Amino acid sequence: MTRSAEAYERYRAPEFRRLLAAARRSLERNGGEIKGSIGLANPTTAERTAVIGITGTYRSADVRRITIPLSALEESVRNVTGMSLHDVLERIGLKLRFRADERTALDQARQRILAEGEASPLHAEHAWYRQWLAGLASDGTITALINRKDIHLFSQAVRVLQYLYNRPSDAPPIMLPALADATTGDTKALNPGRGSLPTLVLRALAMARGISPESGAEARRDLWDAFDVIVDDLASRVLVLNLRATGQGLGQWLTDAACYGTPFHVTLHQLITLPITVNLPTVYVCENPAVLRRAAGELGASSPPLMCAEGRPSTAFHRLAQLIVDSGGTLRYHGDFDWPGIDMTNQLRARYQAVPWHMDAADYVKAVRDNTDQVQLSGKPQDTPWDPELAEVMKRESRAAYEEATTDTLLADWSRGG
């Protein structure tokens, strides 16, 4: 056959298919070098004839495996087409992928990403950030970002985390679209379903909180909420009882509800759009809504002002708590006698100088003795600076006592005026 631009088409024939596939694997494995041999197991008559034509060496019909030097195939292809074996393979198939080169490029890209992550001030300041970065490197996330050409998402995730941790402690909550715009230039970049970016950020924030990432809209909203990021200012709310306030709209509604001892849910949207002033010397804070419900049912309008963290304080809770403290009020807190409950107590003490109420060692011992449920303590032990003996007794007893089991004691105290 004379050389022509179409001469390579002969290599599309079935008798060359397995032979060229083996040649492709060899070239990709060896970085494009023509070296070594390739083979065919149980060749067909057509394949055996093709190899005889390439090598000029007869192979018997009963041969079980044919081996051919790759250099012989290269020479034959050049004689027929005037092209290299490399070029012919790419003409009739996909571009060759040199594995060693790809691994080197991948390793270099991984090192650049890790170096960028380590350059962030968060790397030196926070163990959770280092854990997050190491996890991305070890579980294939960084490799996946490189393969999808989404490296920019990692850079954006770091910017989001730095933005959240560099905000002043007294900064107002930020809406999620505003956060996305400030860090990526795209107001929708952190929305659910927008790819890897929100997943990367929420994974880091969960580590910063010491919790496992959870799926579902509510879990995502709660996690953003914990960092004063508002996903939905109508969904963020705080349950209160007898919390009189001044201010048009919301202030009037709260005062009216207090007249009847009616529980009231205050949304973050209301707190933002209908400013109030709360001039109360003391506001009690509970963790479980069942406590507030019983206070409303049994004490009604005579119950002292009460707000509920509902397990995990929302942005609305924090905004209202800050209003109370800024006006000179004191928060008196009672929660669960377990390590997460103690951690929340410490957080409220640090943020609002909240005073633990019925949260000392004697209260714990009574709650444990009165509680028939034998629930073992779990999680990381916490210090109790307001009563060091409490932490020691909890470690010794290793039992949890939940707030709803102590409600009788709380109500009795409130009925006597706190």
Detail the DSSP E strand segments found in 242-393.
264-267, 282-286, 306-308, 330-334, 355-356, 375-376
Within a domain: 1 = no
Residue 382 DSSP code = -
225: left (phi over 0), alpha (psi -120 to 50) or beta: alpha
What are 131's two structure tokens? 């854990």
Shortest CA distance to 285 belongs to which of 336, 338, 221, 250? Answer: 336
Residue 1 reports pLDDT greater than 50: no
Residue 33 reports pLDDT greater than 70: yes
Answer with the one of 230, 255, 275 that is the final residue of a domain. 230
Other Cβ atoms less than 10 A from the Cβ of 266: the count is: 25
Burial (0-12, 13-18, 19+ Cβ within 10 Å), 354? buried
Measured distance between the N- and C-terminal CA atoms of the chain, rounded to whole angstroms:
104
Distance between CA atoms of residues 390 and 130, nearest Å: 33
Answer with the one of 40, 72, 96 that is the final residue of a domain. 96
Shortest CA distance to 277 belongs to which of 300, 254, 309? Answer: 254
CATH number of the domain encompassing residue 288? 3.40.1360.10
Same domain for 144 and 84, yes or no, is: no
Specify whether the CB–CB gap between 331 and 278 falls below 8 A: no
Same domain for 177 and 295, yes or no, is: no
More confident residue, 187 or 374: 187
Above pLDDT 70, what percent of the chain?
Answer: 97
Within a domain: 312 = yes
H-run or E-run covering 67 = strand 65-69
H-run or E-run covering 240 = strand 237-241
Same domain for 220 and 245, yes or no, is: no
- Supply the DSSP string of 129-168, one letter for each residue: HHHHHHHHHHSSHHHHHHHTT-HHHHHHHHHHHHHHHHS-
* Residue listed under structure tokens 């044919």: 66
Per DSSP bridges, beta strands 330-334 and 355-356 are: parallel
Same domain for 313 and 381, yes or no, is: yes
Same domain for 161 and 86, yes or no, is: no
Same domain for 179 and 279, yes or no, is: no
**Per-residue model confidence as pLDDT tens digits over 334-346:** 999 999 999 999 9
Tell me which amino acid residue 199 is.
Answer: T
Within a domain: 264 = yes
Other Cβ atoms less than 10 A from the Cβ of 328: the count is: 10
pLDDT band at 41 (very low <50, low <70, confident <90, very high): very high
Distance between CA atoms of residues 414 and 418, nearest Å: 4
Same domain for 131 and 84, yes or no, is: no
pLDDT the model gives residue 311: 80
Q: Domain residues for 307?
A: 237-415
Within a domain: 169 = yes
Strand, coil or helix: 323: helix
Same domain for 252 and 323, yes or no, is: yes
Residue 263 reports pLDDT greater than 90: yes
Within a domain: 338 = yes
Same domain for 76 and 223, yes or no, is: no
pLDDT the model gives residue 35: 86
Region 353-359: what's the mean pLDDT? 96
| Distance (Å) of CA 53 to CA 15, 58, 71, 76, 255 | 12, 9, 14, 9, 99
Same domain for 110 and 168, yes or no, is: yes
Distance between CA atoms of residues 314 and 42, nearest Å: 70
Strand, coil or helix: 68: strand
Region 265-290: what's the mean pLDDT? 94
**Per-residue model confidence as pLDDT tens digits over 91-128:** 888 787 766 666 777 788 888 999 999 999 999 999 99
Specify whether the CB–CB gap between 355 and 332 falls below 8 A: yes
Specify whether the CB–CB gap between 402 and 288 falls below 8 A: yes
pLDDT band at 260 (very low <50, low <70, confident <90, very high): very high
Distance between CA atoms of residues 340 and 181, nearest Å: 34
Within a domain: 119 = yes
pLDDT band at 253 (very low <50, low <70, confident <90, very high): very high
Distance between CA atoms of residues 262 and 258, nearest Å: 6
The phi, psi pair for 355, rounded to 5°, reads: -100, 120
Within a domain: 152 = yes
Answer with the one of 71, 96, 121 that is the final residue of a domain. 96
Residue ranges of alpha helices (H) inside 167-234 are: 176-184, 196-209, 217-226
Within a domain: 2 = no
pLDDT the model gives residue 381: 93
**Per-residue model confidence as pLDDT tens digits over 362-392:** 999 999 888 777 788 988 899 999 999 999 9
- Supply the DSSP string of 13-58, one letter for each residue: SHHHHHHHHHHHHHHHHTTT---SEEEEES--HHHHHHHHHHH---
More confident residue, 397 or 173: 397
Q: How many domains does the chain have?
A: 3
Same domain for 33 and 60, yes or no, is: yes
Same domain for 375 and 275, yes or no, is: yes
What are 102's two structure tokens? 């790809």
